[in-house]
Amino acid sequence: MDISEFPLTWRWTQSSHAKLPDHILTELQPLDLQSVLLLTNNIPSVLVADFSRFVADNDDTTRQWLMQLDISSPRVIVVWRADLALSMPWTTFCQYWDDFCYPSSDNADIFLECGRLFLRWRHYEVFECDPEL
């Protein structure tokens, strides 16, 4: 599937929501169901016992917080549910995080390219982060 067929594409192509530049859209790679199921098959309901929380009450402050995380993976995978997942550059996620993480409606797990869950977005506008980054 290419990005134009992805069910959430309207979020990044409609001026009523966000109109991401074409070069950014080409970096977004939908994952097939089988790949997502392999990734999410054994994820815990709680990230880690001592996860840290970040309240995302300001877009720029949140962007800065995300960029300061020590992420060695050039790409991350955002999973909303088993049939909705995208691979993208970490820098793209940081820059446009609020276009991928909607308050009130979205819960999302964010994985490193190697498959490690390290970040969760909660619809009540909180990121949960694995402190072992």
Spell out the per-residue pLDDT of the chain, length 133, in tens: 889 999 999 999 998 889 999 999 999 999 999 999 988 887 766 666 667 889 999 999 999 999 999 898 999 999 999 889 999 999 999 999 999 999 888 899 999 999 888 899 998 999 998 877 6
Q: Which residues contact 111 (CB under 8 A, 6 or more apart)?
A: 39, 76, 77, 79, 117, 118
pLDDT of 24 reads: 96
pLDDT of 104 reads: 85
Q: Which residue has the tokens 């192509």?
A: 13
Could you tell me if 130 and 94 are in contact, meaning their C-beta atoms sit under 8 angstroms apart?
Answer: no
Could you tell me if 75 and 89 are in contact, meaning their C-beta atoms sit under 8 angstroms apart?
Answer: yes
pLDDT of 47 reads: 61
Claim: this prediction has a pTM higher than 0.85: yes
pLDDT of 49 reads: 63
CA neighbor of 75 nearest in space, from 94, 61, 101, 56:
94
pLDDT of 133 reads: 64
